[in-house]
Structure 1
């Protein structure tokens, strides 16, 4: 059965599986078959568009980043070759496929009994994020039961993060009753929550560094397209320091700058199509809330629930993509100078906008705060990737992937550069009941607080978000309709 399931995903891939799941969930929520079909088709079109742009742009980024490293002469032996290899590994391992089958049932049960208010099957494809962590745990322990329990635990704590950020994410990105829940991107909520009061003490909440203020202050130079071009020039020049005197180098630099401007322009358009896939689902959730409100108006908010959507919905929002792409050269430089770091982010640099969505939502599009949060958390993430790289490489080789020529150790910045998940991983693979117990107790306390104080948490985050000056959310953010 597991082998048949692996073959199924090898043949069809995300652009077919995700639309299928959206169609099934939409019909289950009593969306008309016609709307369900067009929702599914939009999801497939959006995912295909994402794939085309990322696959075309990633080699260009990789080329300039590699040239930058070669120019410095520094040696970072653990090379990022992208999350796609991790996805393939997750779906190739027995432990990973077991979770994909059983995990769906677990997710449904957790939602039905009220452990979580996040309905995750609509985002089923991103379960590979849990599956790769379980595969790594099994690679270390060779203990199936422990590794499977670890995956379930990672799911549980990620659902808490998804529900905590849900109100902010839903409002900021303009998608009613929706949230993101992929483990490889939701963890960045943690530094946003911890550091935001600290940044406010320094007055950063009053700094108007967001898409609207950039446009107002910089005019044409504040447009995402122009910012993409300028950022492309910067990365291209840094990656071509050794041959800036040649016309060929400048041809490549300008070509890369135009390509990055194209990404900044086209991605929001594709995001708009992709977001429309979730419009009927969001409308169905809203209809359900209205029915509950009429019957039990005093508890309607407590019963509010959210549809889990793919992170691609928010990728093209201007503050998100600007902050994410500014972090690209910053994280490369940090990786080169960070003491003790052995990991070089390369291919997954284009995924940084996915990784900062929670930060953007919490800070109401404050680009400066998002960049500072990213610098701190992703720097810690480089240490996590340095530790996990050898384990990840063994797992990838175990399940059939071939390493690129000249590369001995690999990693995925998007999948592994997560310090909190890495700490939980270390606790669980140790097999020590004390450390595992500590993680479980922390989770149970967090769950109790969320279940009993959810509306107070949302009110606090709303108040904290509103302290950021001069930005009510980009006019270009994704607002989906019910039509």
Structure 2
């Protein structure tokens, strides 16, 4: 009975599940029923809007990317199913139903022990943590080690939500909100590493160009919609489209640039009163401790620099896939939502396109390499879910299949790729260390600022 109820709830999808969770969460915070309902509906509307725009991206950019690959005779035989394929396969795994209460329990324990400030209400995106658990279960044959995989990924995700809060607050202007999920969270530390390296290189560290500079320099031709239009033209030309199809694609990419920030607005309208109430209620209840509401990384896609860089990285990612030694993955399913991979990096680099190009290239190369190593596990996950037949067909996924967190944990428990474990493990752990150090520095800065304000008022 419990299994059927949980599966029914999961099948509702994020556009229904998240508003329900938000309404219940709001009522628990003693918001008025009408206000809680209104907030939940606004958030649901926003996610419907995101779904429509992402659908437009998949329907327009996806075929263009596929045509581009065929036109240049790219011989990569494993198709990236992307998160739209990986999420349903994950929810069909044996770990899935127990993963939700496990991830929630990890969150509660960390909050009680003051190991995180993130109060995660985005139940749908627990599929990222579930994916790690499912991979570990398949790789080791141990159900309990699979649960451990969920625990480890959840703990790391909540900490990443803490560590990148200054970025979500200051750059994305999401006050009181953290993004502890998905590729945006685990790719952020790689951008921190790149930023730290560039800062130590004289001359190079002064190179900076971003969307705002382009808009000032090129006027109307630097507007986001115009950039989107020209990106569509370039993608259409690379795909070998005729003039009619090129122009249609260009208009659609321009529309994506315009619509994505606007469909995010209803979500923010719904979240603002909840975030204020949550912080007020929880801080009063727990002695003034600051809390952050953990939400979907889709919120980050409304930023103009994220959208424009996402479009730019479609051909770049395909090029990386072609030249990367040993890669077997043909990017496809995640190309339209590549913004998830580079969104936090955009904030870390403060929109500096020069740095984003460097960190984004490193992120996509590492993602493709890890996803290639995980093809066997990914295929077995798909077979277990009934998504494909056990006939020798292979599938991969960049989102989560290319996650360093999942890869490191699987390799620690199996030691099948010792060299890969050493290289990726040491590099990524160092990136996490730099991220922790950076967050600690910002926290000390904030404490000094608060103390200065107190002294001034006194």
TM-score interval, normalised by the smaller of the two chains: 0.7 to 0.9
Contact 2:79 2:395 in 1 (8 A): yes
Counterpart position of 1:348: 334
Counterpart position of 2:380: 394
Does the residue aligned with 1:94 lie in a helix, a strand or coil?
Answer: coil
What's the CA shift for 1:123? 1.4
Counterpart position of 2:452: none
* Distance in 2 separating the partners of 1:75 and 1:10: 37
Counterpart position of 2:46: 46
Question: Is structure 2 residue 157 aligned with structure 1 residue 158?
Answer: yes
Does the residue aligned with 1:304 lie in a helix, a strand or coil?
Answer: coil
Does the residue aligned with 2:175 lie in a helix, a strand or coil?
Answer: coil
Is there any run of 5+ residues in structure 1 with no aligned partner, and where?
241-247, 293-299, 464-483
What's the CA shift for 1:220? 1.1
Question: Is structure 2 residue 37 aligned with structure 1 residue 37?
Answer: yes
Q: Structure 1's 425 and 93: CA in aligned 2 closer, same or farther, altered over 3 A?
A: same
Contact 1:15 1:48 in 2 (8 A): yes
Question: Is structure 2 residue 260 aligned with structure 1 residue 267?
Answer: yes
* 1:58-457 to 2 correspondences below 5 Å: 58-120=58-120, 122-200=121-199, 201-240=201-240, 249-288=242-281, 303-402=289-388, 408-430=393-415, 455-457=440-442
Compute the TM-score of the two structures, normalised by the length of structure 2: 0.87
* Distance in 2 separating the partners of 1:290 and 1:340: 51
Q: Structure 1's 6 and 119: CA in aligned 2 closer, same or farther, altered over 3 A?
A: closer
Contact 1:312 1:354 in 2 (8 A): yes
* Distance in 1 separating the partners of 2:362 and 2:197: 13
Deviations, residues 188-210 of structure 1 (Å, cap 9, x unaligned): 11112211122232545533422
Deviations, residues 75-111 of structure 1 (Å, cap 9, x unaligned): 1111112212221122212212111133223322222
Deviations, residues 148-190 of structure 1 (Å, cap 9, x unaligned): 1111011112222221111221121111111101133211111
Aligned length in residues? 442
What's the CA shift for 1:327? 1.0
Is there any run of 5+ residues in structure 2 with no aligned partner, and where?
449-458
Does the residue aligned with 1:79 lie in a helix, a strand or coil?
Answer: strand
Does the residue aligned with 1:351 lie in a helix, a strand or coil?
Answer: coil
Does the residue aligned with 1:24 lie in a helix, a strand or coil?
Answer: helix
Contact 1:232 1:261 in 2 (8 A): yes
Does the residue aligned with 2:374 lie in a helix, a strand or coil?
Answer: helix
What's the CA shift for 1:47? 1.1
Contact 1:235 1:329 in 2 (8 A): yes
* Distance in 2 separating the partners of 1:453 and 1:231: 34
What's the CA shift for 1:234? 0.8
Contact 2:190 2:428 in 1 (8 A): no
Q: Structure 1's 144 and 420: CA in aligned 2 closer, same or farther, altered over 3 A?
A: closer
Q: Structure 1's 216 and 140: CA in aligned 2 closer, same or farther, altered over 3 A?
A: same
Q: Structure 1's 310 and 164: CA in aligned 2 closer, same or farther, altered over 3 A?
A: same
Contact 2:346 2:352 in 1 (8 A): yes
Does the residue aligned with 2:294 lie in a helix, a strand or coil?
Answer: strand
* Distance in 2 separating the partners of 1:208 and 1:443: 26
Does the residue aligned with 1:415 lie in a helix, a strand or coil?
Answer: coil
* Distance in 2 separating the partners of 1:197 and 1:396: 39
Compute the TM-score of the two structures, normalised by the length of structure 1: 0.83
* Distance in 2 separating the partners of 1:257 and 1:100: 41
Does the residue aligned with 1:382 lie in a helix, a strand or coil?
Answer: helix
Q: Structure 1's 459 and 210: CA in aligned 2 closer, same or farther, altered over 3 A?
A: farther
What's the CA shift for 1:396? 1.1
What's the CA shift for 1:288? 5.0
Counterpart position of 1:466: none
What's the CA shift for 1:278? 1.4
